[in-house]
Structure 1
Amino acid sequence: MRWIDIPPVWLAAFAALAWAQATFLPMGLGFGGAWADFAGGILVGGGLVVIVLAAIEMRRHRTTIIPHMDADRLVTTGVFARSRNPIYLADSMILFGLILRWDAVLALPLLPVFVWVIERRFVLPEEARLKAKFLAVFERYAQQTNRWL
């Protein structure tokens, strides 16, 4: 059952809730048309690009991308030089982009809830494992690089 507790599953669940709100409970609300479609597309596309860049960087350093596994190396280069959690940031961008594209105005509160879930389920435990394994190197990295942006 642990395989189901991964960020893409959480993202899919939150996206499904946003889609359901837009489809079954729109209440006549919308973001205003073309600009929301454009911004949503940019966010979804940008999020996918960030995920690919992070995956390439992790592969280059020969460490795991699987959240519940211990990392072999601390990756601090590439997109990880800008954010300690670029993939989770990208997941949030994708969710926000989908909410905009679908005109799911009432689903906007899902975004901070998603970030909270991801932080509690994945970010904090991962950072605790990295801190225990890489000690002062992780501490220095955490001081230099923000958790999200």
Structure 2
Amino acid sequence: MRSPVQWIDMPPVWLLAAIVAAYAIGVVEPMWLTFGGQWARLVAGVLIGGGLILLALAIYEMRSKRTTVIPHQEADHLVTSGIFSRSRNPIYVGDMLILAGFILRFDAVLALTLLPVFVWVIERRFVIPEEDRLRRKFRAEYARYCLKTRRWI
């Protein structure tokens, strides 16, 4: 059973924290820093929508293979089909797209610095431990998967 702290230490919580930080940065940053008008809102919508689509495709694929989508839990199956044939971490790529979209939407130019920080946190807290578990459990199959599919895109 997971403790309350373990339920808080989840990628959606980190994403929400980064979005809130981006909003706060957008409120306090100098007005002369801007992405520009309507085109930024359009691109923001495309990025957020694309991120949500990636999340949905990845969750659907994992559910169809009857394995967990919850980080820090042992996977029952190695999912290499669907969107996972393009990226080993499509959910996290989707999270990055969503964050980038909100940064554009909030017109928070200085919040762009949150993107590499978010990627670093997600990689250290979730990606590397998940890869280690998959490497131990699926050995040769996971090694072949890593050779043909990139970690990100």
Moved more, 23-32 or 138-147: 23-32
Of the candidates 43, 65, 70, which is equivalent to residue 66 of structure 1? 70
1:23 deviates by 1.4
The equivalent of 2:145 in structure 1 is: 141
Q: Which of 95, 99, 122 matches 2:99? A: 95
Q: CA RMSD in A?
A: 0.7
Q: Which residue of 1 aligns with 2:84?
A: 80
Unaligned runs of 5+ in 2: none
The answer to whether the 8 A contact 1:80-1:86 is kept is: yes
Q: Per-residue deviation at 1:24?
A: 2.5
One-letter code aligned to 1:122: F
Number of residue pairs matched by the alignment: 149
The AA in structure 1 aligned to 2:124 is R
1:45 aligns to 2:46 (yes or no): no
How far off is 1:26 after superposition?
3.9
Q: Give, in whole Å, the separation in 2 of the partners of 1:5 and 1:26.
A: 32
The amino acid that maps onto 2:134 is: L
Equivalent residue, structure 1, for 2:132: 128
Q: Cα distance, 1:80 vs. partner?
A: 0.3
TM-score (norm 2): 0.95
Determine the structure 2 residue equivalent to 1:20.
24
Give structure 1 stretches of 5+ with no counterpart.
none
Deviations 1:65-124 (A, max 9, x none): 000100000000010000000000000000001001110000001001100100000000
Percent identical: 60
Whether 1:2 and 2:1 are equivalent positions in the alignment is no
Q: Is the 8 A contact 1:26 1:104 kept in 2?
A: no
Match of 2:116 among 105, 112, 119: 112
Contact 1:40 1:98 in 2 (8 A): yes
Provide the C-alpha distance between the structure 1 equivalents of 2:122 and 2:39, rounded to a whole number of angstroms. Answer: 28
Partner of 1:42: helix, strand, or coil? helix
